[in-house]
Amino acid sequence: MLLGKEKTVKRFYNFFAKFEAVIMVIGMGIMVTLNFANVVARKALPSIPMSFTEEVIVLIFLWISMFGISYCYRTHSHTALNLISEYLPKAGKIIFLIIGAAVSIAFVSFLTYTGWNMVQNYLKYDQILPSTGIPMAVQGFALPIGGVVIIITVIMTLIFDIQKLIKGEEEEK
C-alpha cells in the first residue's frame, strides 16, 4: 500500500516540476515580448507610453525567479559543493544532504517570513504599483508563496535523494 502512495507523491512531484517549467517559459515569453514592445515603442512610437511594461516585467521576474529556485533545487541544477561529500560513505552523504537541506530551509524560511511581513505592510497601506495600479501585494506574495513551494521542494528532494542513496547501497550489496 505504501508503494502506491509513494508513486502518487512522485507523480505529483514530477507534475509540479513540469508545471513550474511551463510557468517559467510562459513568464519569460511575456517578459521578452513586453521588453521588445517597450524598446520598439520608445524608438518608433515615442508618443505611446509603455512605462507600465517595466512594472509588469519586474512582477513576472519575481514570480518566475521563485519558481526557478524550486525547479533548480528539484532538478539539482542549483549550485552545490560536493567536494567533500563526494568522497564520503553513504551515511556521510546522507548527513551532508540533511545539513544542506536544513540550511536551505532555514534561509528560505527567513525569506518567507520577511516576505509575509512585507506583504502585510503592502496590504495595510494599500500600496500599488504606480503605472499599472496593480497592488504591490501581488508582487510581494511571490516571496511567501514561492518560499513555501521551495521549502516543500527541498523536503521532497531530500527524501527522494536519501531514498536513491539507500537503494544504491542495497544494489551494491
Closest CA to 137 of 114, 115, 159: 115
Taken in order 44, 45, 50, 53, is the CA torsion positive or negative? negative
Grid coordinates of 124: 495595510
Mean pLDDT across the chain, nearest whole number?
90
- What was the pLDDT predicted at 104? 95
Q: What average pLDDT does this structure show over 38-55?
A: 87
CA–CA gap between residue 173 and residue 168 (Å, rounded): 9
- What was the pLDDT predicted at 106? 98
Structural contact between residues 158 and 78, judged by C-beta atoms closer than 8 angstroms: no
**100, 10, 21, 98 alpha-carbon torsion, rounded to 10°:** 0
Residues 82-133: tens digit of each pLDDT? 778 888 899 999 999 999 999 999 999 999 999 999 999 999 999 999 999 9
pTM score: 0.88
- For the chain, domain boundaries: 2-172
Residue 141: count of CB within 10 angstroms of its CB = 20
User: With 0-12 CB in 10 A as exposed, 13-18 as middle and 19+ as buried, what is 139?
Assistant: buried
- What was the pLDDT predicted at 87? 86
Q: Inform me whether the pLDDT recorded for 169 exceeds 60.
A: no
